[in-house]
């Protein structure tokens, strides 16, 4: 057993070590934190360069090594949660004994505030593209076998394409592939597929190019970002979701997570604002879910309905909100999530403050 690198920052900072058998090399990251999961570590290796970024609270701990020998493309990851240990098991190409793991690359063994790290991208293949509404599609991309990455609930990634010689980058929020299939994240390891609901703006800069990609083409996907934490959902009794247009996307995983993992949850209510009925994303899935799970209710509000619409109308307003936001019990623990066009979100936050909801009870998704 060889100790390759020890902590530079004293006993409480993370460190890593490695060991080997005939056929595998195991890299062990000691985070010294308890709330570590499979979505806490992002691993990429290309040729002989190995990169593992571990998110520890608001910090990023990087292991970045030029490996001394070749390994196979795929690898496995295990997390020992109660001690905060991450094990990455690389398969040797040849059954030789390694004298050293390799040489440190840029920023190896460094712990820096996450906000100070740049985004890292890997190329993902477009697997499928499916129409959801007249202008919105469900895109599925596949991570390379040499990447381990799980986007935490409530977080987004950046997609990057080179358009006429210029790199264009826009943020998108991964969703589950459906509201009705069994929700497996973040339990399922090695999940290689990422789904996005993306609205194509005909005069937009990025989305028409994305829409022109063929199945099998590549798009670069960044590591996740965002300040929502699922810990906000712990002990929650009432969850209210206010979504407008594609502002629905962060709600998808939050909804699935809450219904699956929060036992004390009594009610989840979604108020979904759109221009017309044709714009409503996953309407029949939402209605089926409401039928199937009595804890979930959905209300659609249209800002430009046709004359035969019998449902709620207009923009976000005090009247709509005060009626909608009735908690299932007095003093129940409440969270309100809001996302949509900036004027919608800003107006919503203002109205929620007027209705005496505290900052802790509101989470807004913004740029």
| Contact footprint for ligand NAD (CB under 6 A) | 156, 173, 199, 244-247, 249-250, 273-275, 279, 303, 315-316, 339-341, 343-344, 347, 365-367
- Tokens for 265? 């949850």
39 binds, among ligand FAD, ligand NAD, none (CB under 5 to 8 A by kind): none
Q: Which two tokens stand for residue 312?
A: 């709620």
139 binds ligand FAD (CB under 6 A): no
Shortest CB 327 distance to ligand NAD, Å = 24
In the range 3-42, which residues lie near ligand FAD by CB under 6 A? Answer: none
CB of 342 to ligand FAD, least distance (A): 9
Residue 171 touches ligand FAD, criterion: CB under 6 A: yes
Distances (CA, A) of 280 to 246, 287, 323: 9, 11, 22
**Coil, strand, or helix at residue 201?**
coil
Cβ proximity to ligand FAD, 319 vs 367, nearer residue: 367
Closest CA to 239 of 104, 95, 122, 335: 335
Choices 2-10, 193-201, 261-269, 346-354; region in contact with ligand FAD by CB under 6 A: 193-201
Q: How far is CA 262 from CA 231, 248, 254, 265, 266, in A?
A: 10, 20, 11, 6, 9
Among 31, 153, 207, 256, indicate the residue that binds ligand FAD (CB under 6 A): 207
Cβ atoms of 267 and 328 within 8 Å: the answer is yes
Query: Which pair of tokens denotes residue 16?
Result: 């890593």
Q: SS3 for 324?
A: helix
Q: Which does 197 bind (CB under 5 to 8 A by kind): ligand NAD, ligand FAD, none?
A: ligand FAD
- Residues numbered 275 to 294 that lie near ligand FAD (CB under 6 A) are none
Nearer to ligand FAD by Cβ, of 151 and 230: the residue is 151
Q: Minimum CB separation from ligand FAD for residue 270, in Å? A: 16
Of 55-63, 205-213, 232-240, 315-323, the segment contacting ligand FAD by CB under 6 A is: 205-213
Distance of closest approach, residue 120 Cβ to ligand FAD, in angstroms: 18
Separation of CA 224 from chain center: 6
344 binding partner (options ligand NAD, ligand FAD, none; Cβ < 5 to 8 Å by kind): ligand NAD
The residues with which 267 forms a beta bridge, in sequence order, are: 238
Tokens standing for residue 54: 């571990």
What is the three-class DSSP state of 54?
A: strand
Sign of the dihedral through C-alpha 192, 198, 200, 203: negative
In whole angstroms, how close is the CB of 94 to ligand FAD at the nearest point? 44
Partner in contact with 315, chosen from ligand FAD, ligand NAD, none, beta carbon below 5 to 8 Å by kind: ligand NAD
CB neighbours of residue 269 within 10 Å: 20
The CA distance from 174 to 95, in Å, is 39
Exactly one of 172, 195, 282, 296 binds ligand FAD (CB under 6 A); which one? 172
Burial class (CB in 10 A: 0-12, 13-18, 19+), 177: middle
Alpha-carbon distance of 121 to 127, in angstroms, equals 18
Quick note: the x/- pattern for ligand FAD over 231-250, rule CB under 6 A, is: ---------------x--x-
At residue 80's C-alpha, the angle toward residues 79 and 84, to 5°, is 95
H or E element in which residue 273 lies = strand 267-274
What minimum distance in Å lies between the beta carbon of 268 and ligand FAD? 20
Q: Which does 281 bind (CB under 5 to 8 A by kind): ligand FAD, ligand NAD, none?
A: none
List 97, 164, 203, 306, residue binding ligand FAD (CB under 6 A): 203
Question: Residue written as tokens 């799980």?
Answer: 150
Report in angstroms how near the CB of residue 293 gets to ligand NAD at its nearest. 24
User: Nearest distance from residue 82's CB to ligand NAD, in Å?
Assistant: 33
Please give the Cα distance from 242 to 271 (Å, whole number): 5
Residue of 42, 63, 194, 197 interacting with ligand FAD (CB under 6 A): 197
Q: Which residues bind ligand FAD (CB under 6 A)?
A: 156, 170-173, 196-199, 201, 203-207, 246, 249, 367
């Amino acid at each position: 057993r060889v100790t390759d690198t020890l902590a530079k920052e004293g006993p409480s900072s993370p460190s890593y070590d490695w060991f080997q058998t005939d056929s595998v090399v195991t890299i062990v990251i000691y985070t010294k934190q308890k709330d570590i999961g499979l979505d806490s570590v992002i691993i990429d290796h290309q040729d002989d360069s190995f990169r593992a970024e571990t998110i520890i609270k608001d910090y990023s701990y990087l292991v970045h090594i030029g490996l001394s020998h070749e390994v196979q493309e795929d690898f496995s990851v295990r997390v020992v949660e109660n001690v905060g240990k991450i094990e990455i098991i690389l398969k040797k190409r040849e059954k030789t004994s390694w004298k050293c793991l390799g040489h440190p690359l840029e920023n190896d063994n460094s712990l820096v505030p996450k906000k100070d790290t740049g985004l890292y991208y890997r190329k993902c293949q477009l697997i499928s593209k499916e129409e959801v509404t007249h202008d919105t599609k469900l895109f599925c991309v596949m991570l390379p076998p040499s990447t381990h990455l799980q986007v935490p609930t409530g977080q987004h990634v950046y997609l990057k394409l080179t358009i006429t010689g210029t790199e264009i980058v826009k943020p998108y929020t991964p969703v589950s592939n459906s509201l009705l299939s069994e929700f497996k994240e973040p339990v399922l390891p090695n999940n290689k597929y990422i789904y996005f609901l993306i609205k194509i703006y005909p005069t937009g800069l990025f989305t028409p190019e994305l829409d022109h990609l063929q199945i099998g083409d590549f798009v670069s996907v960044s590591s996740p970002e965002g300040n929502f934490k699922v810990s906000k959902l712990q002990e929650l009794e009432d969850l209210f979701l206010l979504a407008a247009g594609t502002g629905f996307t962060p709600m998808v995983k939050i909804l699935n997570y809450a219904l699956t993992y929060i036992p004390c949850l009594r009610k989840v209510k979604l108020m979904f604002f759109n221009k017309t009925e044709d714009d409503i994303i996953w309407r029949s899935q939402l209605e089926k879910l409401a039928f199937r799970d009595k804890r979930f209710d959905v209300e659609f509000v249209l800002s430009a309905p046709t004359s035969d619409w019998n449902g709620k109308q207009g923009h976000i307003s005090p009247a709509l909100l005060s009626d909608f936001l009735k908690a299932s019990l007095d003093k129940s623990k409440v969270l309100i999530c809001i996302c949509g066009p900036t004027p919608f979100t800003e107006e919503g936050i203002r109205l929620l403050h007027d209705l005496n909801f505290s900052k802790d009870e509101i989470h807004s998704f913004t740029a």
